[in-house]
Structure 1
Amino acid sequence: MVTSHVLTWAVTDSQGYETSWIELRGTTLQARGRAVATVPAPHWISYELETGEHYVTRELRIRAATTTGSSELRLLHDGHGRWTADGDPLPDVDGALDCDIALSPLTNTMPLLRHGLHLTPGERTFLTAWVSVPDLTVHPSAQTYTHLARTERGGLVRFASGDYRSDVEFDADGLVINYPDLAHRLTGP
């Protein structure tokens, strides 16, 4: 079964917007998107994301443009827990299954769907390959997702990383509806 979405979020943390074209097929996700922001400085981001089975990131291609220039990053996961950035090994994120683009509501979807945490009780902690924007540097990030409740449209999940906490509303397909202080959906079901 294939489910397609075109979603736009107002990204309050970056004072911008993100639109993503998303295709969910079985336990894989493909997405391409663009974000424009004014914080921390004016920039735009363009990305293409592909996962393998069980929503494990396979590849993220991301481009950033700022007032001082542009950069690109190709982040690859080998399917066995090892990562490279533009061909260079990233041992700090070995073992991670997911990438996470800073200030993007899209990349919270993969770990959530893998374990159904938007619809069923549970708590999981994951290591992610977190991509800072607009500089496109990759950092390890431990993230915890805790199912709080089912809702009419999907579920409420607490996201935690370090001292940061937010109760995020997801739809039944595991896509962000409202991420307090980060983003809220403007279009889509």
Structure 2
Amino acid sequence: MVTSHVLTWEVTESRGYETSWIELRGTTLWARGRAVGTVPEPYWVSYKLETGDRYVTRELRVHVANATGSHELSLQHDGGGQWTANGEQLPSVEGALDCDLGLCPLTNTMPVLRQGLHRAPGERTFLTAWVSVPDLAVHASRQTYTHLARTESGARVRFASGENRSDLEFDEDGLVIDYPGLAHRLSGSAGHA
């Protein structure tokens, strides 16, 4: 079964907005999105994200435009733990399964879906390839997700990384509704095929 979503978030941290067109097919995710932010400077972002089986990132392509011009990132994962950014090896994120695009609530979905943390108790810590926005630098980031409770709309899951902690609200499909301090969903539509 294929589930399609079009979701728009207000991204409070960047004083901007993001819209994502998402397809969930079995245990894979495909998405494209666009965002505009005004903090730390005005910028536009467009991205394409593709995962393999079990929501493991296969590729993230990002384009950013700001006052100094535009630049791109092609972040690729070989499925066996090796990552490259624009063709250059990234040993600092070796073994990571997920990318995490900064200021993008969508990329919190993959680890939650893979572990079923939107449906059942559990806690997992992951290494991710975190991409900062708007400079598109790739950093290693340890992140912990903890299922807190089922809710009427889905689940509440705690996200922790370093000193950052936030209780995220996910819908039944494992997509972020609210990420306090970062973003909250304004609208969304879903379809099934």
Aligned partner of 1:93 in structure 2 is 93
Aligned partner of 1:156 in structure 2 is 156
Do residues 10 (structure 1) and 43 (structure 2) align? no
Q: Distance in 2 between matches of 1:17 and 1:119?
A: 28
The Cα shift of 1:63 comes to 0.3
Q: Distance in 2 between matches of 1:176 and 1:146?
A: 14
Q: Distance in 1 between matches of 2:42 and 2:27?
A: 35
Q: Distance in 2 between matches of 1:171 and 1:132?
A: 25
- Would you identify which runs of 4 or more consecutive aligned residues in structure 1 move more than 2 Å? none
Q: Distance in 2 between matches of 1:164 and 1:71?
A: 28
Q: Distance in 2 between matches of 1:75 and 1:181?
A: 26
Aligned partner of 1:142 in structure 2 is 142
The Cα shift of 1:118 comes to 1.1
Identity across aligned pairs (percent)?
Answer: 75
Aligned partner of 1:19 in structure 2 is 19
Letter in 1 for 2:178: N
Runs of 5+ in structure 1 lacking a partner? none
How many residues align? The count is 189
- Residues 68-87 of structure 1 show CA distances to partners (whole Å, capped at 9, x for unaligned) of 11000000000000000011
The Cα shift of 1:111 comes to 0.3
- Residues 105-135 of structure 1 show CA distances to partners (whole Å, capped at 9, x for unaligned) of 0000000000000110000000000000110
Letter in 2 for 1:106: L
- Residues 137-180 of structure 1 show CA distances to partners (whole Å, capped at 9, x for unaligned) of 10000000000000011000000000110000000000000110
Letter in 2 for 1:64: V
Aligned partner of 1:118 in structure 2 is 118
Do residues 63 (structure 1) and 63 (structure 2) align? yes
Q: Distance in 2 between matches of 1:39 and 1:96?
A: 28
Do residues 183 (structure 1) and 161 (structure 2) align? no
Q: Distance in 2 between matches of 1:73 and 1:162?
A: 25
Q: Distance in 2 between matches of 1:178 and 1:134?
A: 22
Q: Distance in 2 between matches of 1:159 and 1:68?
A: 33
Q: Distance in 2 between matches of 1:76 and 1:68?
A: 26
Runs of 5+ in structure 2 lacking a partner? none
Do residues 29 (structure 1) and 29 (structure 2) align? yes
The Cα shift of 1:188 comes to 1.1
Provide the TM-score with structure 1 as the length reference: 0.99
Q: Distance in 2 between matches of 1:179 and 1:133?
A: 17
